[in-house]
Chains A and B, each alone.
Chain A
Amino acid sequence: MVTKVDARTYDTTVEITWCAGCGDFAILRALKLALADLDIAPHEVLIVSGIGCGSKLPDYMNANGYMTIHGRPLAVATGAKLANPDLHVLVVNGDGDGYGIGGNHFVHTCRRNPNITQIVENNQIYGLTKGQYSPTSDAGFITTTSPDGAIEAAFNPMAIALAAGATFVGRSFSGEPKHMAEIIARGITHQGYALIDVLQPCVTFNRVNTYAWYRERIYHLEEEQGYDPSDRTAAWIKAQEWGERIPVGVIYQAEGVPTYEEQVRAMEGGSPAGRLLELAKASPTEEYDRLKEQFV
């Protein structure tokens, strides 16, 4: 019987194929620390991912994992949560998967508010496919697919999440695993959809947004006197900040908003998983036949 979860409970022997120095290592560690801190056992977690370097994370954790297709983990995660609300359902994917091809799911998940936590490994590039610019790449960023510099303004996930009605919007930096673990834990305990955008370097293909680049710019909202994450107007202003100053921490949190699964009428009789379990424990068929003979 597991009495207290240790982060090492989540370790596997699977060889990790991320590049040395990748920010994903710290994200993996922070996630394990957060789950252990919340005393959540591996069988109580489902990690859903898409496609990309960061989406390999479920392979590297001793927990239920489900790698879906590019951009679709939020849809699958929402379904999983509806089927079994007792599971802690997390989505882990990159900025390309989450904000590019997965952008539509992202917007509607924000307003749907299922009780799931999404950790976006935002390295501002498509890494697995060797260095194309992504939705969060800054304008002017030169890559193989933007030889003259990216033309579009960067996607702002914090602002878009807020505008779409997300009830928890947070950001962290992979160079600070302790802070990351705290924000992830807060996201998991939040009742509703939680977005945690983790800024992380891609040491192989992104030579602009490096550890040094982020370190010079990030500042902690927890240390900003008077900042109230429940103030949506203040959160909107913080969500616009990028460039020379980048806030990390909980940008916005609204408590007490009903989750999607709490409002689905079909769930009133219990979750599909719960009902299946009840059926499995039900009397054997002979008993059913006897009762039917007697009363029908």
Chain B
Amino acid sequence: MEYREFIIQVQTMGKLASFEEAETATLAVMRALSEVLPQERARRVQACLPSELSCLLECCRPEPDPYIDSQTFIGWTLSGLDATGLRDKTLGGLDLFAADTGAEAVRRCRCVFCALKTCLDEALHEDLARELPEKVCDWFRSAQASR
């Protein structure tokens, strides 16, 4: 799959307003993956990706930090995300002072995983899932590859 096609797939799946938003989310998720994937596994994933994405996995370490959890993982995506408004639980409507980015970040991460799974052989899906932190592996497993 070409890079542009990958990003458009993320944008479409996530109903994101712009190519740039989808690109930001994609690059963030790939960089987060580079923190948790061991080098050996990363090489197999790189082989299936367009060069603009595979280069982001170049810095994978032979033994990644085993204590990186879902919060640290999703933090990479959150930094590039504008907060979405929360509903006012008392009066209804939009609460101008409340914002929630966590759920939206996970949703975008799942969209990237969907596009990623489309590029990868199905045999690699479970191998990759096993390398991911708790909860992140669940997001990955539940992401539907679009064919």
Q: Which residues of A contact B (CB under 8 A)?
A: 19-23, 25-26, 29-30, 33, 174-179, 181, 201, 203-204, 207, 210-212, 215
Identify which of residues 1-34 in chain B touch chain A, using a CB-to-CB cut-off of 8 Å: 28, 31-32
Q: Which residues of B contact A (CB under 8 A)?
A: 28, 31-32, 35, 65-69, 71-72, 74-80, 83, 99, 101-103, 105-106
The one of B71, B99, B103, B105 that contacts A26, using a Cβ cutoff of 8 Å: B71
CB distance from A54 to the nearest CB of B (A): 14
Alpha-carbon gap, A275 to B80, bound state (A): 56
Contact A22 B67 (CB under 8 A): no
Contact A210 B79 (CB under 8 A): yes
Contact B65 A20 (CB under 8 A): no
Alpha-carbon gap, A26 to B83, bound state (A): 22
Given A21-B102, A204-B83, is A177 in contact with B78 using a C-beta cutoff of 8 Å?
Answer: no
Write out the residue numbers on chain A whose beta carbons fall within 8 Å of the beta carbon of B66.
178
Contact B99 A204 (CB under 8 A): yes
Given A20-B78, A21-B77, is A174 in contact with B102 using a C-beta cutoff of 8 Å?
Answer: no
Contact B68 A177 (CB under 8 A): yes
Given A204-B83, A204-B101, A212-B31, is A21 in contact with B75 using a C-beta cutoff of 8 Å?
Answer: yes
Alpha-carbon gap, A26 to B71, bound state (A): 8
Q: In chain B, what residue has the closest Cβ to A212?
A: B31
Q: In chain A, what residue has the closest Cβ to B72?
A: A26
17 contacts between A and B (CB under 8 A): A19-B78, A20-B101, A21-B74, A21-B77, A21-B79, A25-B72, A26-B69, A33-B67, A175-B68, A179-B65, A203-B75, A203-B78, A203-B79, A204-B101, A210-B76, A210-B80, A215-B35
Alpha-carbon gap, A30 to B72, bound state (A): 12
The 9 closest A-B pairs by CB, nearest first: A20-B102, A21-B75, A210-B79, A21-B78, A25-B71, A177-B67, A203-B78, A178-B65, A21-B74
